[in-house]
Amino acid sequence: MNRTKRECLMQRLPAPADILALIPAQEDTTRTAVICAHGSSLMLGATPEHVLACLAEREDKALRLIRRNAARLMARRRNIILPILHGCVLTPVKMYNMRRGGIGYVNTAYAALVLRRRGMGSDIALQNGDIIHSLWTSPTVERLVHEGRAVHFKLLNDVRRQLRFAEDLA
């Protein structure tokens, strides 16, 4: 059976709720590191945008529709928080100074601690103990993480409401 690169990528991707962060490789923009909640990490031969599209497709959604909806709700064009699933709300974070591929994503469904850093940027401590460096300042990252947590809370309330409605129908 001849499988496409996209199908292979879909099989290698962990569940969206298990992803802590998507980080583009600094030396090669066509590779992405996926940091998982259970402590392992995975290097994929695809750009972060391609990985995001595969995550969205796995949940039967289109990435551009998720982006358009989120942009409209937040009334902004850049730094859009992507609600893939109620356990996977990805907040953008500037990792490297590159024209394309310098943006990584942190899952704010898990508690991420933003640490101040002297000089340029800030550090983000993930739940598994890994620390990611961001070029954005601490207030910027804290604001985005706070907005991501608000989106996550809204998604959880929507799921809870849907479960109550289904329970009432049963």
The backbone region for 129, taken as left when phi is positive above 0, alpha when psi lies in -120 to 50, beta otherwise, is left
pLDDT in tens, 72-104: 777 767 788 888 888 889 999 998 877 666 889
Nearest Cα residue to 81 out of 42, 117, 112, 125: 112
pLDDT at 125 over 50: yes
CB 35 within 8 A of CB 126: yes
Residue position matching structure tokens 């730094």: 79
By mean pLDDT, which of 94-103, 108-117, 145-154, 157-166 is the weakest?
94-103
Residue 2 confidence (pLDDT) above 60 = no
Structural domain boundaries enclosing 97? 5-169
pTM: 0.84
In this predicted structure, what is the pLDDT of residue 109? 85
Tell me: pLDDT of 1 over 70: no
Between the two ends of the chain, the Cα-to-Cα distance in Å is: 43
Please give the tally of structural domains in the chain. 1
pLDDT at residue 67 above 90? Answer: no
Enter the tokens of residue 23: 């980080």
For residue 34, the Cα-to-chain-centroid distance in whole angstroms is 10
67: CB partners within 8 A, 6+ apart:
80, 82
- For the segment 49-73, the average pLDDT, to the nearest whole number, is 83
Whole-angstrom distance, CA of residue 135 vs CA of residue 95? 6
User: Looking at residues 20-35, what average pLDDT do you find?
Assistant: 87
- At 100 the pLDDT is 64
